[in-house]
Structures are given as C-alpha cells and as structure tokens.
Chain A
C-alpha cells in the first residue's frame, strides 16, 4: 500500500538587496566642511 504525500513548493521573495547609489565623503577642519562625491 502506497501513501502519497504531495509536497507543495512555494516561492518566497528575498529581501531587497540595497546597494549604495553612490558614496559621499565628508571632512571637516578649521571651520571648513568639505563634501566630496564619487564618480557615479
């Protein structure tokens, strides 16, 4: 006698893979704030 088991397969969404759109570098000295972007 055989018993049948049906395996239900489901698709699950992965979490969004968030990648930086770009990077910005900050630096501060003697009252001067410098903000520099990247080439993106």
Chain B
C-alpha cells in the first residue's frame, strides 16, 4: 500500500487478487484486517492524516512500515502465529501500539521517530525486540512476556519514562548508546537474565539482574 497524502494505492503482490478499487482519494484513516493465514503487508509513504489500524489475525504474518509518516495513532495487533513487524525510516506523530500476541515474534524498529507513546507487547514465547537509531518523545513500554526473550536498544534517545519488562524466562537485554531523560526501569523478571550495557546515560534502574 502506498500513501501519498490522502491518495492511497493498493497493490496486490505475489498473485494476490484485489476485489474492489485500488486507487483512493481523500483517505483519512486506514484499517487493515489480514484475517487468518500467513500474510505480508507493506505500507509506505504518507503523511496519513488519521489512524492506521492493522489487525494481523491468526497466522505467521509480516508487516513492514517503511518510509511512512502517520499523524494519528497507529495500532498493530496480532493473534497467534510467528509475527514480524518491521518499522524503518518512519515518523509517527501519535501514539503507536504493537501487540504481536503469542508465539515467537519479532519487532524491529530502525531509524524512526515517535512523537507520542511507543508500546511494544510481544506476550508469550521467545520474542525479539530491536530498537536502533530511534527517538521517542512519549512514554515507552516494552513487555516481552514469558519465555526467553531478547531486547536490543542502540543509538536511541528517550525523552520520557521507559519501562522494559522482560517477564519470566532467561532473558537478555543489550543497551548501547542509549539516553534516558527521566527515571526509567529495565526489569528482567524471574529467571537467569543477562544485561549488556555500554555507553548509557541518564537515570535507569535495573531490576532482576545478577
């Protein structure tokens, strides 16, 4: 899907057939429901004036928000399945929530800025969250739930409070060149957790680590 202001074009890739129009004008909000099955969605362009809501449904789904600007809130919600959410070279003015639900999921956020809150929830199983070269103005919450999870944050500036909950399991977190402006917490939860911290500035507390 390509967004150019209020103009949106929908392309079907890999022999995906589209029922209905493919070019739209005056678009404010976009709602995508991928339903069941293993789906792939690419959204790029902008700015989208309103909301972007993406429901991944059941299945191993992949969403790529690339070079995208959205002025309103963004919600990416998954169900069971190994989901991959990638955000790159994008700008979000509103709050964004990514909830990949159960199974082994991955959330990658690279070279992007967030004007509102950033929430990443990956729930149960072995999940991986990477945040690199990112600025966030709002509150950040990362909750990877149970099992053995990996979180890596690099070259990133947080202007508001950050809470990272790794939950039960043998989790690991890697922080490199990260700036915390206000008191923040990294909580490893139960299990044999590991932290690798290098060049971190600001008031951040580590809980549940040896």
* Residues of A bordering B, CB below 8 Å: 18-28, 31-40
Residues of B within 8 A of A (CB): 1, 8, 10, 12, 14-22, 24, 26-37, 39, 50, 57
Q: How many A-B residue pairs have CB under 8 A?
A: 78
Contact flag A20-B17 (CB < 8 Å), given A26-B22, A35-B1: yes
Instruction: Decide if A32 touches B31 in the complex (CB within 8 Å).
Output: yes
- Cβ contacts under 8 Å, A33 to chain B: 8, 24, 27, 29-31
CB nearest to B19 among chain A residues:
A25
CA distance A34 to B30 in the complex (A): 6
Cα distance A31–B15 in the bound complex, in angstroms = 28
Q: Does the CB pair A38–B30 fall under 8 Å?
A: no
Chain B residues near A24 (CB-CB < 8 A)? 10, 12, 16-19
24 chain-A/chain-B pairs, Cβ below 8 angstroms: A18-B15, A20-B15, A20-B17, A22-B17, A22-B37, A23-B18, A23-B19, A24-B10, A24-B19, A27-B20, A28-B21, A31-B29, A31-B50, A32-B31, A33-B8, A33-B24, A33-B27, A33-B31, A34-B33, A35-B1, A36-B32, A39-B35, A39-B36, A40-B37
A32 near B28: Cβ-Cβ < 8 Å: yes
**Which A residues are CB-close (under 8 A) to B31?**
32-35
Instruction: Determine if B10 and A21 form an interchain contact, defined as CB atoms under 8 angstroms apart.
Output: no
Residue of A nearest to B39 (CB): A37
Since A24-B17, A32-B29 are in contact, a sample of 6 more A-B pairs with Cβ atoms closer than 8 Å, ordered by chain A residue number, is: A28-B21, A31-B29, A33-B24, A33-B31, A37-B57, A40-B36
Least CB distance, B39 to chain A, in whole angstroms: 6
Q: Is the CB of A35 within 8 A of B10?
A: yes
A6 to B30, CA, bound (A): 65
Instruction: Determine the distance from Cα of A26 to Cα of B27 in the docked complex, in whole angstroms.
Output: 13
- Whether the Cβ atoms of B14 and A37 lie closer than 8 Å is no
